[in-house]
Amino acid sequence: MILGQRANSALICDRQIGGMSLVGQSGKNSVRVYVFRCAHKLGHCLTELALRVCATSRHRRWVYRIIVHPGEQQVARIETFVWIVTTFIIIMAATPPRALATPEASACGYLAGLIDKAPPGPLFLPSYPTVESGPLHGAAYLYDNAVAAIALVGCGERDKARRIGAAILWAIDNDRTWHDGRLRNAYAAGVVASGSAKLPGWWDNTQNKWLEDRYQVGSDVGNMAWAMLALLSIDDVNTGSRFRDGAARLGAWVAQWADTRGTGGFTGGTFGHEPTPEVRTWKSTEHNTDLAAAFGLLAIRTGDSRWRDKATVAEYFVNTMWDPACACFAAGTAEDGVTHNPILALDAQVWPLMALPGAAEKFASAITTAEQRMSVDEGFSYGEDRDGVWTEGTGQMALLLKLLGRTGRAKSLIAVIESQRSPDGGLYATTARELPTGFVLDTDPTKPRLYFRLPHLGAASWAALAERGFNPFTVTKGLP
């Protein structure tokens, strides 16, 4: 065992700062420990000392990062701690893999484990399983569950995906108010029992009453599209037509939101509680991309040309959101249905290339734009603020590059994703404490819409799709 090699500096947060590096080696196993003063944007940890431990063995690779608040302590005391941790990690690096817990073996394994741990029956998975109070507690967002179902199909776990699909079908038929084929944006996590499909909510001590989130009880057309894709991914000769029929019911509800303003497409859906939720008049590039794929796949599965016509409407809208001047897609339109929303969002750049026929070649420069304007810390952020890695979006880009045959870059992005493992084997939504999106909350327009550093079902699901190279828009391992 050799310890003691030092370096003059460590690279962190895209800037060179003072630090110390220690290297340890035992056989073919090696460890590098960095101590440095943290320099994150927005002052997240300006007064901290941070310790990062990277261990590589013949079996696997670990990355540890420990934050220390030293106060008036001397760096020498931290160095002593570094030597102790280094020795421990080298021993860990030499340990055969069978001696270690392996929930992080794959994102597919993590998702399958979530299903296996739940009681039998139709199931909605929690989007943020560690949150203990507030709007996110016990909330199973429809989008997250739909992506998880598709990912499970890609992982070869179709039977497990059917449990989520069965919950989606139950929710269509058992809403407390609506019986028109729509779904809500979120449901209460857990096994679906008898009665109406339960919606998430929380007790507010200040108001002394039970509350429900107005976005969660609404119905975005993009989320309906993802539910359609999930049901169609599960649909096969062994399931009869029930999943396909469910997707058609959703499609029929979405069809009413076709818009004639501007370049057509579909508006956003509804927001808020029954009996008269607000109608969303803006249009989203992301939503219409989802609908183009969902309607197109529904046309193939049913042989009904009317779904192809609706796919064409959505696809045309997405094509018109392309801005050659910036080599990017606009996020959509304002409420007038015409004015382009200039916010640069990663998913609006990536998804069309995976969902629309010929788009990966026609709009290939969108990848360059994303790399130049949204890359951060070897991954990708949600938008141009670049305050941290957005794990889900980094998985989306990794999948796109894998589908394009750029496997080397895809593997490097997957490595970034793997560094965001949570203790239970899931994946954190972001590397930042709070990651801005550039949008505001629907429920409170005075507040920004953020991703938080929490284990997130959507992040794990996209990681699984990237691992398997499975395209959720085609439910195959190829581009359209």
If asked whether residues 89 and 123 sit together in one domain, one would say no
If asked whether residues 242 and 343 sit together in one domain, one would say yes
Task: Give the chain's domain count.
Answer: 2
Torsion of CA 436, 438, 442, 446, to 10 degrees: 80
DSSP conformation letters of 181-233? S---SEEESEE--SSSPP---EEETTTTEEE--TTTTSEEHHHHHHHHHHHHH
If asked whether residues 391 and 459 sit together in one domain, one would say yes
SS (H, E, C) 22-47: EEEEECCEEEEEEEEECCCHHHCCCC
CATH number, position 192: 1.50.10.20
In a domain? residue 473: no
In a domain? residue 475: no
If asked whether residues 37 and 182 sit together in one domain, one would say no
- Joined together, the tokens standing for residue 316 give 């045309």
If asked whether residues 32 and 114 sit together in one domain, one would say no
On the question of a cis peptide bond just before residue 275, with omega within 30 degrees of 0, the verdict is yes
In a domain? residue 476: no
If asked whether residues 385 and 263 sit together in one domain, one would say yes
If asked whether residues 196 and 96 sit together in one domain, one would say no
- Residue 393 φ/ψ, nearest 5 degrees: -65, -35
If asked whether residues 58 and 143 sit together in one domain, one would say no
Could you tell me if 210 and 198 are in contact, meaning their C-beta atoms sit under 8 angstroms apart?
Answer: no
If asked whether residues 90 and 111 sit together in one domain, one would say no
If asked whether residues 148 and 34 sit together in one domain, one would say no
Which range of residues forms the domain containing residue 40? 2-100
If asked whether residues 180 and 64 sit together in one domain, one would say no
Among 67, 100, 133, give the residue marking a domain's end: 100
Sequence-separated (6 or more) residues with CB below 8 Å from residue 270: 182, 218, 219, 277, 278, 279, 280
Could you tell me if 359 and 350 are in contact, meaning their C-beta atoms sit under 8 angstroms apart?
Answer: no
The CA distance from 80 to 87, in Å, is 11
In this predicted model, what pLDDT tens digit does every residue of 301-345 receive, in sequence order?
999 999 999 999 999 999 999 999 999 999 999 999 999 999 999
CB-based burial label for 433 (10 Å; 0-12, 13-18, 19+): middle
In a domain? residue 269: yes
In a domain? residue 64: yes
Residue whose tokens read 């603020």? 385
Among 85, 100, 115, give the residue marking a domain's end: 100
In this predicted model, what pLDDT tens digit does every residue of 178-189 receive, in sequence order?
999 999 999 999
In a domain? residue 366: yes
Question: Could you give the C-alpha distances from 64 to 37, 53, 96, 206, in angstroms and in order?
Answer: 16, 5, 18, 40
**SS3 assignment, position 12:** strand
Q: What is the pLDDT of residue 105?
A: 65
In a domain? residue 480: no
The CA distance from 73 to 310, in Å, is 65
Count, residues in the chain:
480
Could you tell me if 244 and 235 are in contact, meaning their C-beta atoms sit under 8 angstroms apart?
Answer: yes
In a domain? residue 474: no
Q: 10-residue block means of pLDDT along the chain (480 residues)?
A: 32 34 40 38 34 35 40 44 42 36 71 97 97 96 98 98 98 97 98 92 94 97 98 88 97 98 98 98 98 98 97 98 98 98 97 98 98 97 96 98 98 98 96 93 91 97 98 98
Per the confidence metrics, is the pTM higher than 0.85? no
If asked whether residues 95 and 126 sit together in one domain, one would say no
Q: Which residues of 4-36 are buried (b: 16+ CB within 10 A; e: fewer)?
A: eeeeeebebeeeeeebbbbebebeebbbbbbbb
Among 68, 100, 132, give the residue marking a domain's end: 100
Could you tell me if 456 and 228 are in contact, meaning their C-beta atoms sit under 8 angstroms apart?
Answer: no
In this predicted model, what pLDDT tens digit does every residue of 61-116 receive, in sequence order?
343 343 344 443 444 444 444 444 444 443 344 433 332 334 446 999 999 999 99
Could you tell me if 318 and 356 are in contact, meaning their C-beta atoms sit under 8 angstroms apart?
Answer: yes
Q: What is the pLDDT of residue 240?
A: 82
Q: What is the pLDDT of residue 239?
A: 78
